[in-house]
Amino acid sequence: MIWNAFLLALRELRRNKMRSFLTMLGIIIGVAAVITLVTLGGGATKQVTEQIAGLGSNMLMVNPGKHMGPGQSSGAAPFKLADAEALERDIASLVAVAPTASSSATAINANENWSTSVTGSSEAYFAVNNRAVKAGRIFSAGEVRAGTAVCVIGETVRAKLFGGGDPIGARIRLNKLSCQVIGLLEPKGQSTMGTDQDDLVVLPLRTFQRRIAGNTDVNMIQVTVRDGADTAKVEREIARLLRVRRHLSSNEEDNFDVMDMKEIASMLSGTTKMMTSLLGAVAAVSLLVGGIGIMNIMLVSVTERTREIGTRLAIGALEWEVLMQFLVESVVISSFGGLLGIALAIAASVALAQVLMVPFVFNTSIIAVSFVFSAAVGVVFGYFPARKAARLDPIEALRHE
Amino acid sequence: MNDAVTDQPALIELAGVTKIYGTGSAEMKALRGVDLCIRQGEFVAVMGPSGSGKSTSMNILGCLDTPTGGSYRFMGVEVGDLTRDQRALLRRNYLGFVFQGFNLLKRTSALENVELPLIYRGDFLSERRRRASEALAQVGLAGWEHHTPGELSGGQQQRVAIARAMVADPVVLLADEPTGNLDSERSVEIMGLLTAINRDKGVTVIMVTHEPDMAAYAKRVIRFRDGLIETDGHHEGGAT
């Protein structure tokens, strides 16, 4: 009998193709919106989560100046190498300390040149930033002390300067410095802020200071806090030490900033997740509106087909059979709309993921949930009209014009 | 034939049936105590002016409505005691309906229209198709299976409706002014069909009509007036 109701419903929908499609449209748009938004949001969240993992565990960034974001100073005096050494010596909870100084420079190999970001740091840089080499090696502590002219390059720089070739052992020029490429970093892709993390050259701090910057400044100190240590407490210890070293009296504000990158990143990922849920909820409302559309059309349809219902009742249709017919009809509309919505959503998410440059993450559960929800919408909003049809008085219904 | 009919057991028995619509001052007595007995194989015409109670009694006979008072026994069963769904099953298994306005499903082929009662009965597709085609052939519409009502003339539509009423082999065929929307030529065709159904299959036919010409086909004519049966008489064999 269910099968028969299904057949009758299909027959009815076929009889009213245009109307069926328009009724479905509400559900199609609702389902497509929910899935697309949740999928894109999921992609964005995944991207942020990967960034957090890529940041290295427990990394803090210490910048001169106040609240200017990573790598920027507000005119406050830069750090010196001694500040970094003091942190490493005096704060027990730090595993690694990487003083860094950066500027942009043009890298040249034979006829190829590429403007990139050059960073001078210690060997600790790689551990703190969670970067590994894909080929070659990183520079040693000895090379850092000696200020040897060696460098480790990112994948983008390799591609621009060497094309398909092997860069290890080659010499490249950075402004006036000629240095030997000893390592190639494992690619990391784009950062949350959209910068290319593979477009860089890393060399020993002393080499950078002497041969490129021409000063002894350290623009930023990156540190790794030991696992299990209280990050907030370490932040306070760093601040206390630096205040002393920078001769700040108790009524002066900090002229440096300690940032917990992980905190920022997880805040960012939390925001992304919340946005996803909010957008999904808004889209779910549109599904509900689609459901009301179904109810509307079903009520019209019941009124319009009153005589038909009367005929069916006279022929001997039971109350539940008529109820079933209309209920199945609305469920077929809504779940078919759901299927079309899913197809539309997948196409839209793939396209939009490319445009918005977020990874496309196929989310099976949201697709299943949306489909079940769209079918449920059909049951809920189809029930009232179906009951109305089933309870019609056959005599009245047969007389209906 | 008349003698044979009177030997049959009573199929339909009305005893003191009343039907009252509304309550209090708006009360309207549609039937005021109707006694009636119809036997298997009869062909009965029900006549009377509008408001006389003939439609109300047809609704009660067709188990679409229940009497307010009195007893209606169909095949020995007290219909007033049945639930709505039990009456639906009774209609499904023993009654066939033909309406003045045909009441075919729009944009649905003749075959699918005729299949409808079989779908409710739960017949399988092949069985449904076979029986529906047969029923259509019996009303002279072989070859018209895939035409929709919009593509058929009034007479053809009524024949589809008769096929639909007959496809599940009912015991009683109830026809409510079956020729009311047809010209005289088509009316004669339809009456011919009803007569044949009554004569060849032994199906009891109860038909409401305004037209004495049509009533003349029946073997028995019942006239209603003011909620009561005014006359109830047998023809001499009816017209052919």
A168 and A120 within one domain: yes
Q: What average pLDDT does range A46-68 have in this prediction?
A: 75
Chain A closest-CA separation from residue B8 CA (Å): 26
What Cα–Cα distance (Å) separates residue A361 from each residue in A46, A267, A349, A358?
8, 21, 9, 9
Q: What is the pLDDT of residues A264-285, one digit of tens each?
A: 777 778 888 888 889 888 888 8
A230 and A94 within one domain: yes
Chain A closest-CA separation from residue B237 CA (Å): 31
Q: What is the pLDDT of residues A283-301, one digit of tens each?
A: 888 888 888 989 999 999 8
Boundary residue ending a domain (A196, A219, A254): A254
Q: Report if residue A40 sits inside a domain.
A: yes
Size of interface A-B (CB pairs under 8 A): 64
**Sheet of strand B204-208, all strands in order from the earlier edge strand to the far edge:** B95-98, B172-176, B204-208, B43-47, B220-225, B228-234
Q: What is the pLDDT of residues A326-336, one digit of tens each?
A: 999 899 999 99
Share of chain B above pLDDT 70, in %: 95
Residue B106 pLDDT class (50, 70, 90 cuts): confident
Cα(B120)–Cα(B173) distance, rounded to whole angstroms? 18
Nearest 5°: the CA angle A26, A32, A34 is 100
Chain A closest-CA separation from residue B18 CA (Å): 17
Q: Is B11 helix (H, G, I), strand (E, B) or coil?
A: strand
Least confident of A225-229, A311-315, B99-103: A225-229
Say how many domains are in chain A.
Answer: 2
A90 and A239 within one domain: yes
Share of chain A above pLDDT 90, in %: 42
pTM of the model as a whole? 0.71
Q: Report if residue A123 sits inside a domain.
A: yes
What is the pLDDT at residue A55?
66
A184 and A99 within one domain: yes
Share of chain A above pLDDT 70, in %: 95
Is ipTM strictly over 0.85?
A: yes
| Chain A residues touching residue B162 (CB < 8 angstroms) | none
Q: Report if residue A72 sits inside a domain.
A: no
A318–B contact, CB cutoff 8 A: yes
Chain B closest-CA separation from residue A7 CA (Å): 10
Boundary residue ending a domain (A226, A254, A282): A254
Helices (H) and strands (E) in chain A, counts: 13, 12
Q: What is the pLDDT of residues A78-102, one digit of tens each?
A: 899 889 999 989 888 888 999 999 9
A330 and A243 within one domain: no
Q: Report if residue A155 sits inside a domain.
A: yes
A110 and A244 within one domain: yes
Is pLDDT of A15 > 90? no
Q: What average pLDDT does range A257-263 have in this prediction?
A: 81
Q: Tell me the average pLDDT of chain A.
A: 87
A378 and A315 within one domain: yes
What is the pLDDT at residue B168?
93
Return the C-alpha torsion angle A286, A288, A289, A292, nearest 10: 160
A110 and A198 within one domain: yes
What is the pLDDT at residue A43?
87
Highest mean pLDDT among A178-182, A227-231, B25-29: A178-182
Return the C-alpha torsion angle A223, A229, A233, A238, nearest 10: -20
Q: Contact, A399 vs A392, CB < 8 A?
A: no
A308–B contact, CB cutoff 8 A: yes
Q: What average pLDDT does range B61-86 have in this prediction?
A: 94
Asked if the Cβ–Cβ distance from B117 to A311 is below 8 Å, we say no
A230 and A280 within one domain: no
Q: Report if residue A66 sits inside a domain.
A: no
Q: Is B174 helix (H, G, I), strand (E, B) or coil?
A: strand
A320 and A196 within one domain: no
A6–B contact, CB cutoff 8 A: no
What is the pLDDT at residue B240?
43
Asked if the Cβ–Cβ distance from B112 to A11 is below 8 Å, we say yes
| Chain B residues touching residue A316 (CB < 8 angstroms) | 88-93, 95, 117, 120-121
Q: Report if residue A63 sits inside a domain.
A: no
Q: Report if residue A260 sits inside a domain.
A: no
A91 and A39 within one domain: no
Joined tokens for residue A95: 């595993």
A17–B contact, CB cutoff 8 A: no
A329 and A192 within one domain: no
Which of B90, B107, B122 has its CB closest to that of A15? Answer: B107
Domain range for A110 is 78-254
Asked if the Cβ–Cβ distance from A318 to B88 is below 8 Å, we say yes
Interface of B with A (CB under 8 A): 59, 62, 64-65, 84-85, 88-93, 95, 97, 99, 101, 103, 105-108, 112, 116-117, 119-122, 164
Cα(B113)–Cα(A244) distance, rounded to whole angstroms? 95
Joined tokens for residue A138: 């990183």
Q: Report if residue A69 sits inside a domain.
A: no
* Stronger pLDDT, A95 or A15, i.e. the higher one: A95
Residue B32 pLDDT class (50, 70, 90 cuts): very high
Domains and CATH numbers, chain B: 3-234 (3.40.50.300)
Cα(A36)–Cα(A348) distance, rounded to whole angstroms? 7
Boundary residue ending a domain (A203, A219, A254): A254
